Structure 1
């Protein structure tokens, strides 16, 4: 549940931040009449994200077990790619997000203003699609109803917390530094994504698309009882199997060994760059 809460919180806060910046800038321009078009784009993005989630949840259920595992493993790898790109992109762009969005608004309202619908749809829809794909990849097509419910609740709670945080920020009650927030959540999500990658590799092995299924590296069953609460907690956070194959272990280690140093380099480069006012998480209302 925690892993899905984290992805819901981060993606939800990105989406809420985008909406807040768009609305605040329109208020500054005294174009409140265009704000409903922002909400139209947000509504379409939410419906599309829910549709993707529904298709992923019920679509594979009619397939054979091998096909389900193959699709689950493939989508897990895609989800890891999306999340990794998102982590690195936000590490680079956190300080300039507000400026980029304002430029997009200027271009969108230069005509009829309906470009704001597309701007909001693309900005929020990307986060929704990533959330749906990543949350589903942590569940898998053969997950129990209880596991799926917990994952869904975790993601929804994360999104709700993100909305509350953005409302508080919009009202000017608090300010959060973007670079610090996305740095720490970036490191946490790298660990989560490594677990999803390992999980996806296991699905592809079970489907017979990758070799090594049954070549267990170790067994933690005696140390971490499958039914224990802390075993479930570790599994939910890290998505690690108590009996991983050697290929799963190698994939996990390689991803961590590559992703963390690259992300650390991006973070250091951002710290060396001149400080930008937009690194503080605000909507721009009080600037």
Structure 2
């Protein structure tokens, strides 16, 4: 989002302004000290001092992100890269350029945080927080609901609604525990968010693949004939509920903290915050309505495809963002990859660790597609052909046995034809009747065999048509 201009400015109370100035002076001092230590070739200590500077900055990070997220994220990534380049002993010119970039952004951040805005500015910032943080969650929840309605599983919708409500409740509870009871640092909050995102990656990827498997031709044929409504098992429903919970919870507790920071920096004039929140929530409701209604109009197979790709995209971005949060909390190493750009909304960061994580996810998705649409149908086709051959052999054995019985019945009938014994004549009549029945059975076996071959041929053509559609 673009920077939000201040519409009504006024001086912040002297004590608050001086407190902010002292905090930024401390950050700049720690940065300068770390650069000086780096130039003396003490790379490890320099990196530790750079992390101390980040810890000093993070005390104001929530407030900055609430007012200007792009600047906050830019500073966060710059601190991480500054530390990583120091640790690896990068050329001094590169480290100095990052140092100057951080100090420039810090000056801008100080102006943002010491500026008090009026109703219009607070309205826009409040609106942007709820829309920005809630948009992804609304997309995921709306897609899942449209999927259940589309697959005639409306009775399972309560799992999605339950996940959403649980996510909202857990967001408020987590924010209260972390900020009010435990007074956990922003760094620890980032670690929590990072782990939540990595858990969400696994769940989103699984659901994405599960939807892809329903697109495969034979499963698609099952859907067309009205059987797929039984395909959503209790385990699948629980997973869909977990996706909705994680999508809301991942953004939720952070959103609560952003609004708390916005109230703090707004001071006494908070009149624009609630209207901005309500209008933003209304916009999200409109987005939800449009997605669910549009989803019901899209052909089922295309809807499954779009939903699957969207959930995978969310998993891809969560992978990058989750690993990045762990890097900022020093749980995961940060090795710069200078050839990579930084695209925060895609979760792409210029580090080898995030690149490897997202690369692994891409490889897993490609393999899932190849397996679902290439390897699996080939295996099933070979299995079907083998079963058909075995069935044909069984039918041929029955046919041969029938012919054998018929042959012996005819011989017995000829042998007993001219006998004068009444019992033997009666036996001859029974054998003649057996011969007739055996021939009828033989004809029926041939008919079943032909029908079976025709049915497999028809099924093969149907699958081929669905795959080419």
Superposition TM-score tier, normalisation by shorter sequence: 0.3 to 0.5
Q: Which has the higher contact order (CA 8 A, sep 6+)?
A: 1
TM-score by length of 2: 0.29
Between structures 1 and 2, the one with greater helix share: 2
Give the greater-gyration-radius structure (CA): 2
